[in-house]
Structure 1
Amino acid sequence: MSRIAIELVPRDEVSLLTELDLIKNNFPVVDTINIPDLLRYEIRSWEGCTYAQPNYKYVIPHIRAIDINLDQPLRMADFFKEKNINEVLVIKGDPPQDMTHKIYPSTSIDVIRKFKEEIPGIKVYAGIDQYRDSMRKEADYIKQKIYAGADGFFTQPFFDLRLMEIYSEILEGKEVYWGISPVTSEKSLNYWETKNNVVFPTNFQPNLAWNIEFAQKALEFTGRTNANIYFMPIRTDVHKYLQGIFAGN
């Protein structure tokens, strides 16, 4: 059965609990919470997941591969076992702005394999960046992650159903969380184009109405293909965005 996830940033305890409470009370269709690991905040992703666990069966913390020392046991392994966190998303991770933070030359493939070896039974998702390189190279990278033990994938946000359909053929038979994120300003549009190499469709409009309509189409697509979806409401009113998407559901 398809899952619907929301990605929530763990800025602090109060804001995280407030957003979790809002989603629980207004959008019961959401059954999964995934939490990114952002160094500028004190709450680590796996700690943030414990705030969601009282009301959500599925919680998925992000792990930055470059933070993992392959020569040492996973420092969060005992925490995962104690708190019954049995799913994780491994991404490469961006280099920290504060270079006093120790990083390692660990790849996502290295860390996927390490999680599978050190935490038996854990479900490991890997990232897909459909914009980073050619489709051929990304497809090859997907295969490498599967060979390393990846059980499924989280994509970067999509803005074009045609591209989703192409990747659904590449990922046929795999568990996928298709990413959707609203882009509602020219500044945000420029960021996605220059930083993430996104090519937006010609009918794209950086406003909430276009993004809600697209999210509804993507939700219909994932329901039809029995896939999962996650919404990443960056710099957008969570309630207004989700209310628009699920209106009538």
Structure 2
Amino acid sequence: MGRISVELVPRSPEGLREDLQMIKDNIHGVDLINIPDLLRFETRSWQGAAIAQDFYPAVMPHIRAIDVDLTQPLAMRPELRQSGITEVLVIEGDPPQDMSHKFYPTVTTDVIQKFHQEMPEVKVYAGIDQYRGSMRQELYRIQRKLQAGAVGFFTQPFFDMRLLEMYADMLQGQNVYWGITPIASERSKSYWELKNNVIFPRDFEPTLEWSIYFGRKVKGFIETTGDNLYLMPIKGNLQAYLEGILGSQPE
């Protein structure tokens, strides 16, 4: 089995440290911490990743392509180098709700290449969105990102083993982190259906129990393939979800 990554939202430095301490004290097998870049919070992803380094040596901030001005040096480069961060995940990014935040028509492949030019010591990962179009279209995007220099991929969360197995067959030999996330309410289910075009399998239930059950199935699958696991416990009982899938630390 490859690495296990947990995504933690940096709502505040204090809250992030509490989550990191809880995971370090209670959860077994975590190798990597991912920090998304959410504009509604003051802590940027690379700042949150620097905090996470106090708990885990392997950290990965998310970089939003639409925030990158290609005519200027990478704005986060000084802080990344100061922290010694050597892995990033480049995503497209959604336009900000606050239009005072400037953004650019930059695409992920441009940013991947820019990192190679300005920070060649950094390994750049890219995203896979298995819901935005056909598999053929997504495979084309994946190939473009590989040509730009991506060393691996993080997927959107899966909820159906059949779809995951199809993508795993298509991406055999690639360095992939297979995503999962808990859904514990009808409201959350509707969000994924309307916002991300997810079609849930017939046996799906919007409960923590079902999310843990499915997460354990995905973990079992990647243990046979040698791939990586990417847990995104965005809301809800962080400890219960992670312990349910990964188990607790040995006494």
Tell me the TM-score normalized by structure 1.
Answer: 0.97
1:11-26 alignment, distance < 5 Å: 11-26=11-26
Tell me the TM-score normalized by structure 2.
Answer: 0.97
- How many correspondences in the alignment? 249
Quick one: distance in 2 between partners of 1:224 and 1:37?
32
| Aligned residue in 1 for 2:148 | 148
| Aligned residue in 2 for 1:138 | 138
Amino-acid identity (%) = 55
Quick one: distance in 2 between partners of 1:176 and 1:211?
21
Structure 1 residue matching 2:214: 3-state secondary structure: helix
| Aligned residue in 1 for 2:7 | 7
| Aligned residue in 1 for 2:178 | 178
Shift of residue 222 of structure 1? 1.3
Comparing 72-81 and 33-42, the one that deviates more: 72-81
| Aligned residue in 2 for 1:229 | 229
Quick one: distance in 1 between partners of 2:111 and 2:38?
18
Shift of residue 240 of structure 1? 1.1
| Aligned residue in 2 for 1:89 | 89
| Aligned residue in 2 for 1:118 | 118
| Aligned residue in 2 for 1:239 | 239
Query: What whole-Å deviation, never above 9, does each CA across 1:168-197 have from its counterpart, x for those lacking one?
Result: 122111111111001111001111011100
Shift of residue 129 of structure 1? 0.2
| Aligned residue in 2 for 1:127 | 127
Query: What whole-Å deviation, never above 9, does each CA across 1:51-74 have from its counterpart, x for those lacking one?
Result: 111221210000000000000000
Tell me how large the CA RMSD over aligned residues is. Answer: 1.1
Shift of residue 82 of structure 1? 1.6
Quick one: distance in 1 between partners of 2:227 and 2:67?
30
Quick one: distance in 2 between partners of 1:247 and 1:41?
30
Quick one: distance in 2 between partners of 1:5 and 1:231?
6
Greater relative contact order (Cα 8 A, min sep 6): structure 1 or 2?
A: 2
Quick one: distance in 1 between partners of 2:247 and 2:173?
30
| Structure 1 segments (4+ residues) deviating >4 Å | none
The yes-or-no answer on 1:206 pairing with 2:224 is no
Comparing 164-173 and 128-137, the one that deviates more: 164-173
1:71-86 alignment, distance < 5 Å: 71-86=71-86
Amino acid across the alignment from 1:12: S
Quick one: distance in 2 between partners of 1:195 and 1:106?
22
Query: What whole-Å deviation, never above 9, does each CA across 1:118-156 have from its counterpart, x for those lacking one?
Result: 101211000000000011000011000000111000000
Shift of residue 234 of structure 1? 1.8
Contact 2:66 2:92 in 1 (8 A): yes
Amino acid across the alignment from 2:26: N
Comparing 239-248 and 115-124, the one that deviates more: 239-248
Quick one: distance in 1 between partners of 2:68 and 2:135?
28
Quick one: distance in 2 between partners of 1:247 and 1:123?
29
Gap regions ≥5 residues in structure 2:
none
Quick one: distance in 2 between partners of 1:235 and 1:115?
31
Query: What whole-Å deviation, never above 9, does each CA across 1:60-116 have from its counterpart, x for those lacking one?
Result: 000000000000000111221121100000000000000000000000111111111
Quick one: distance in 2 between partners of 1:64 and 1:21?
27
Quick one: distance in 2 between partners of 1:56 and 1:224?
26
Quick one: distance in 1 between partners of 2:17 and 2:196?
30
Query: What whole-Å deviation, never above 9, does each CA across 1:14-57 have from its counterpart, x for those lacking one?
Result: 11000000000001311110000000111000000111112212
Amino acid across the alignment from 1:200: F
